[in-house]
Structure 1
């Protein structure tokens, strides 16, 4: 069996290392961009008025341009047909970006984000039932990001009551319950997704406890 010369092995190793280093750097930039969006959206937990929410959503969507830029940089670095080979370096910030985009759309419209909206915000095509060779949004990362939404909504429900907004938790509870019921129709075989899905029921329980407390105090009336 013919073996490669040492100099070719060394060159291949250095090229592989260079690709991983470049991907890691862009992934860190993507994480920082997501953290900036988180900082903007945290304002809605302090003041839950619609004016503040609309302002935060507008600023967050503007900052998603940085997210889209970094995802474009990743697309230029990751070799064709090697998405999953390097996905361990960037799957987490991509999932976070999906979750943040879903949260913004919920805040604006109180509904779940559509695939078309998400693709527009991130600048990536979702691999939904088809094979995409170029850099894309993996279906598991999409679902994982969506499953992170109820945790943020449970926090919003609690803070809404603190700020005197008693109707929002009821709307959040209805949305989260419907979302959970829809997700139950999916067959989660992936261990990470299964654990994340199982945690959603605890987020919903927190929201339901908020609604129950409002109910026994007579504060959930229109």
Structure 2
């Protein structure tokens, strides 16, 4: 386990990621708070690419709670069967859509606690919606962010909630709005689970992960030979 990063290193860590990606955003396709909520709910244990392929046709016929409820579980299932856990997700999406109609006048609430009352909506989903569409400085922790935070020493924790709470504590205020996106994209494309691509990482020197991975085909540096003591 790496040592926790110092505050100075954390500030530099985010500064470099923000310079690489000045305007980060989710890779899920959406055009309203409701369509983002549905897309994120469908994205658990699935790729954004896979979700986008399903929601493209889906949102053409059902992009409001009322239209989704009218479509029903069976109708919705026809659009999302390519996504993992689709049966349970179809049930939750219809249920949360009905609850939005019954209790929120068909509108997506901008409060994390209210969002978490919806069927199938946990802290991660609520934080993504609050951050992306309501501009709140929340940090949603998925598998990528959990890995990056622990591997680098940015925010060490045994659970996603522990990491999320730690990130909110250590992330400088000016970077909290974009932190979720920088970390998830960094984990998705560079700090990968099996083989992190340290050789092209802009924050490798700040990261506590060791030993750093070399570029494919790169020679392993020779260990220095200890000099013999002379009499």
Bin the TM-score by the shorter chain: under 0.3
Instruction: Return the structure number with greater helix share.
Output: 1
